[in-house]
Amino acid sequence: MTEYRIEIERLHRFSEDVLVRAGARPKDAASVAAHLVDANLKGHDSHGVGLLPAYLRHVREGLVTLDAEETCVQETAVLLQIDAGGGWGAPSGHRLMDRAGAMAREQGIAAATIGNVHHLGRIGAYAEQAAEAGLASLHFVNVTDHGPLVAPYRGSDARFGTNPVCIGFPAAGKRPAFLLDIATSQIALGKVRVAASRGGRVPTGSLIDEKGLPTTDPTGMAGFELKGALTPMAGHKGYGLAFACEILAGVLSGAGTIQPGNPRRGGIQNRMLSILINPDKFGDRSWMEEEVQAMADYALASPLMDWDSPVLYPGDPERAIAGKRRREGIPLADKTVAALNEAATRLDCPTLT
């Protein structure tokens, strides 16, 4: 498999150009492009520019609203509910963090929901935005508008999305921001796609086939309409968290869960509940920072089981990959580049290579 290395600025310009040519408002295109490239930069290629062909299909099929206007469904001192009007995820998601962040700074805490929004992408980006503003945050997300991908614990077919849960805390002393940003499936759908396209296998226990039997063969399971199903992470614990996302994000946003009574048009929509917390309102910030740092030092000093695999602080893997990719460029598989070039050609845009 050939791999290309693309310079970050170039990938950003390319993504922005095709989105504008497809009809996105320039500000939206800039935000979506920045969000996708940032996901690649942080090593989450499943949520990077490889999604552009799908996003462009959604534009062609009217599954994302290009002239969307957000509506504020409800706003109090600590509560915000936004209906994004079916528009792009990244600009609405980052605006939500700005507005709810200002409330949390003032009041100590704020709960915000967003619904009727296209794909919000890598959820960690919103926790990073909150952390940079000095805020802790929790995010619960469900995924709708296409068929389910993940089986419930002890079930034999898909009933859930990969529903991510994300928790962030600002930098403390010498420790940069804490970031736990995980899908609740055992492996991400992107990993099934990669294994299928390389003719490889997926880890034992991470996939079941259409008969509900465990399989490691990803063939025929790479699309959004899986023949089988992904399994939840950590058995009943991941299943419970995925269910919590349906309730906290799908229900509290007022936009709905993945139950089959709701639309499945073949696009991607997210709903998100974000809870933002101002640590300053909970106590002495310098003590908190020392305590977080001491806890991190303690956890990371655990004697290693394998000398080649250090204990890491959640958020460090993204920072390490970002450092490398900033220097070396973003690696893109030839199949991804071919799909991006095809999308650009269709829109009369210059290709990437």
- Does 6 participate in binding ligand NAD (rule CB under 6 A)? no
Query: Alpha-carbon torsion 62, 66, 71, 72, what sign?
Result: positive
Task: Using the rule CB under 6 A, give the single segment among 144-152, 181-189, 259-267, 273-281 that binds ligand NAD.
Answer: 181-189
- The DSSP secondary structure of 203-237, one letter per residue, reads -TTSEE-TTS-B----TT--SSS-SSEE-BTTTHH
> Tokens 């829109």 — which residue?
347
Given the complex with ligand NAD, which of 181 and 246 has the nearer CB atom? 181
Helix (H) / strand (E) element for 117: namely strand 109-118
If binding means CB under 6 A, how many residues of this protein chain bind ligand NAD? 26
Task: Using the rule CB under 6 A, give the single segment among 26-34, 151-159, 277-285, 313-321 that binds ligand NAD.
Answer: 313-321
Number of Cα atoms under 13 Å in the Cβ half of residue 110: 26
Q: Which of 180, 222, 244, 252 binds ligand NAD (CB under 6 A)?
A: 180
Shortest Cβ 314–ligand NAD spacing (Å)? 4
Q: Which of 37, 51, 188, 248 binds ligand NAD (CB under 6 A)?
A: 188
Burial of 333 (0-12, 13-18, 19+ CB in 10 A): middle
- Does 129 participate in binding ligand NAD (rule CB under 6 A)? no
Of 83, 100, 184, whose CA–CA distance to 137 is shortest?
100
Q: Which of 92, 144, 162, 231 binds ligand NAD (CB under 6 A)?
A: 162
Burial of 53 (0-12, 13-18, 19+ CB in 10 A): middle
Of 194, 224, 221, 187, whose CA–CA distance to 54 is shortest?
224
Shortest Cβ 119–ligand NAD spacing (Å)? 6
Task: Using the rule CB under 6 A, give the single segment among 4-12, 77-85, 180-188, 200-208 that binds ligand NAD.
Answer: 180-188
Binders in 47-76 for ligand NAD, by CB under 6 A: 47
Q: Which of 58, 122, 146, 325 binds ligand NAD (CB under 6 A)?
A: 122
Task: Using the rule CB under 6 A, give the single segment among 160-168, 192-200, 254-262, 288-296 that binds ligand NAD.
Answer: 160-168
Q: Which of 80, 90, 103, 123 binds ligand NAD (CB under 6 A)?
A: 123
Which residues make up the interface to ligand NAD (CB under 6 A)?
A: 44, 46-47, 119-124, 141, 143, 162, 164, 166, 179-183, 188, 270, 312, 314-315, 317-318
